[in-house]
Amino acid sequence: MRTPKLAFAVTLMISALFYGSNTLADTRILASIKPLELLVRAIATEDMHVTTLVPPGSSPHNYSMTPSKRRMLEDADVIFWVGPQMETFLSRILTGRDFGERSVALMQRDAESEQDHQAESHSDHDHAHDHEDGEDPHIWVDPHMALAMAETIRDSLAQLNGADKPALDQNLETFRASISAKEALIRKQLEPMQSVSLFAYHSALTRFAEHYGLNIEGVLTLNPELSPGARHIAAVQNKLRGANHPCLLTEPQFNRRWWHSITEGLDVTISTWDPLAMDIDANAEGYTAFQQSIADALLTCLPENAEH
Ligand SMILES: [Zn+2]
Ligand SMILES: [Zn+2]
């Protein structure tokens, strides 16, 4: 009884060799957070299955993994994450023996690729901000850093068995063109924002603001897992009081009571933006829609748009 089975298995193996691209239908790509899923979807071909690990409403800063999430890691062929400074809950498991080879930390490669960008394509605007410090891990909100991440994603996907490399290259070029058009549009839209004083919940907005030449005057909490001390709150309140059209950008993952009292009695416009792109459609255009959603949240703070 065994011989036919074995023969059948060999036949399967041979046809898998001949029709290698068909096996890609089972390729599972896991992104740690939704914005990375959007970058992967911009690059991946249609036969690749893409999902996100951290569910909507949760923050990667304080996430703890359930057994079903652990199974998602085990089932994945490639795992994209920002790196140990961002998804701390993944750092031990993804740098270990089981997952080291199939996980790709996008932050570690970033400094390198961003340098190439500065050399070739950053003459269009003043890009003096420091992209190489490893401090702020919210790298995906900066469109040029996102492009560098997309290039790394292309390189990783191209190594998969049966990958359609010309299609991956084409997707990367399409993404490059749409990011550059979106970036130019947003830069224009944000010009009047110089008259607004921006305050953020935590550092997630910083790299977006820096990229577009905007200044963030205050950050409510340096560690999003903790509420800040009284002295820090008093300092932020002071800045809010002295600010010109203060605008506080809050995040749906951290809509906690403690910060509401900070703005009491002050004329502050509050706008919500989502660094985790929860409500953005998961498709190849998702990342540019995400960039626009951040710009739109900022624009509601312009004096002519703000409700008082
Ligand atoms: Zn964050
Ligand atoms: Zn930038």
- pLDDT score of 131: 44
Q: How far is the CA of 144 from the centre of ligand 2 (A)?
A: 5
Query: Residue 304: inside a domain, yes or no?
Result: no
Spatial CB neighbours of 84, under 8 Å, sequence gap ≥ 6 = 90, 91, 95, 105
Task: Give the Å distance between the CA of 91 and the centre of ligand 1.
Answer: 16
> Which pLDDT belongs to residue 144?
96
Distances (CA, A) of 31 to 26, 55, 165, 274: 16, 11, 20, 17
> How many residues appear in the chain?
308
Question: Which strands sit side by side in the sheet containing 49-52, from one edge to the other?
Answer: 49-52, 28-31, 78-81, 103-105
Nearest to 299 by CA among 247, 244, 239: 247
- 254 and 143 within one domain: no
Looking at the structure, tell me whether residues 41 and 182 fall in a common domain.
yes
Distance CA 234, CA 255 (A): 20
> Contact 144/211 with Cβ under 8 angstroms?
yes
CA of 308 to the centre of ligand 1 (A): 29
Expressed in angstroms and rounded, the spacing between residue 38 Cα and the centre of ligand 2 is 18
Q: How far is the CA of 217 from the centre of ligand 2 (A)?
A: 19
User: What distance in angstroms lies between residue 138's CA and the mean position of ligand 1's atoms?
Assistant: 6
With left for phi above 0 and alpha for psi between -120 and 50, is residue 83 left, alpha or beta? left
Tell me, yes or no, whether 53 and 117 share the same domain.
yes
**Given this model, what pLDDT does residue 31 score?**
98
Dist. CA 146 → ligand 2 center (Å): 9
- The structure's pTM equals 0.84
Asked whether residue 5 is assigned to any structural domain, the reply reads no
Which of 186, 218, 245 marks a domain boundary? 186
Do 182 and 165 have their domain in common? yes
Q: Which of 141, 171, 140 is nearest to 283 (CA)?
A: 171
**Long-range contacts (CB closer than 8 Å, 24 or more residues apart) made by 137-140:** 137/82, 137/83, 137/85, 137/86, 137/107, 138/86, 138/203, 138/204, 138/205, 138/206, 138/207, 138/275, 139/82, 139/106, 139/107, 139/110, 139/207, 140/33, 140/35, 140/36, 140/39, 140/82
Going residue by residue through the chain (308 aa), what tens digit of pLDDT does each one get?
Answer: 334 444 444 444 444 444 444 455 579 999 999 999 999 999 999 989 999 999 988 999 889 999 999 999 999 999 999 999 999 999 999 988 889 999 999 996 544 444 444 444 443 444 444 444 457 999 999 999 999 999 999 999 999 989 999 999 999 999 999 999 999 999 999 999 999 999 999 999 999 999 999 999 999 988 777 778 889 989 999 999 999 999 999 998 876 677 788 888 889 999 999 999 999 999 999 999 999 999 999 999 998 887 65
**Last residue of one domain, picked from the residues 161, 186, 211:** 186
One domain, residues 37 and 175: yes
Using the mean position of ligand 2's atoms as its centre, give its distance from the Cα of residue 2 in Å.
61
Give the bridge partners for 270, in sequence order.
Answer: 248
* Domain assignment present for 292: yes
- Round to whole Å and give the CA distance between 72 and 31: 10
Residue 157 shares a structural domain with residue 197 = no
Q: Considering the domain boundaries, does residue 12 fall inside one?
A: no
Distance 187 CA to ligand 2 centre (A): 12
Query: Does 4 map to a domain?
Result: no
How many structural domains are present in the chain? 2
Starting from the CA of residue 219, give the closest ligand. Answer: 1
Task: Give the integer Cα–Cα distance in Å for 219 and 100.
Answer: 35
For residues 32 and 171, state if they share a domain: yes
Shared domain check, 257 and 204: yes
Ligand 1 centroid from CA 233, angstroms:
19
Task: Note whether 126 and 211 are same-domain residues.
Answer: no
164 and 38 both lie in a single domain: yes
Together in a domain, 173 and 204: no
Ligand 2 centroid to residue 13 C-alpha, Å: 47
Q: How far is the CA of 184 from the centre of ligand 1 (A)?
A: 26
Last-in-domain residue among 186, 201, 232: 186
CA–centroid distance, residue 155 to ligand 1 (Å): 26
Ligand 2 centre distance from Cα of residue 126 (Å)? 9
Residue 262 identity: I
Identify whether 308 is part of a domain.
no
The ligand minimizing its distance to the Cα of 33 is 1
Are residue 255 and residue 152 in the same domain, yes or no? no
Instruction: Name the β-bridge partners of 30.
Output: 51, 79
| Structural domain boundaries enclosing 242 | 192-299
Determine the distance separating the centroid of ligand 2 and the alpha carbon of 5, expressed in angstroms. Answer: 57
Domain presence at residue 234: yes
From edge to edge, which strands make up the β-sheet containing 246-250?
Answer: 216-219, 197-200, 246-250, 269-272
DSSP symbol at 56: T
The verdict on residue 6 lying in a domain is no
Residue ranges of E strands in the chain: 28-31, 49-52, 78-81, 103-105, 197-200, 216-219, 246-250, 269-272
Q: CATH no. for residue 54? A: 3.40.50.1980
**Lookup: tokens for 288:** 């540019």
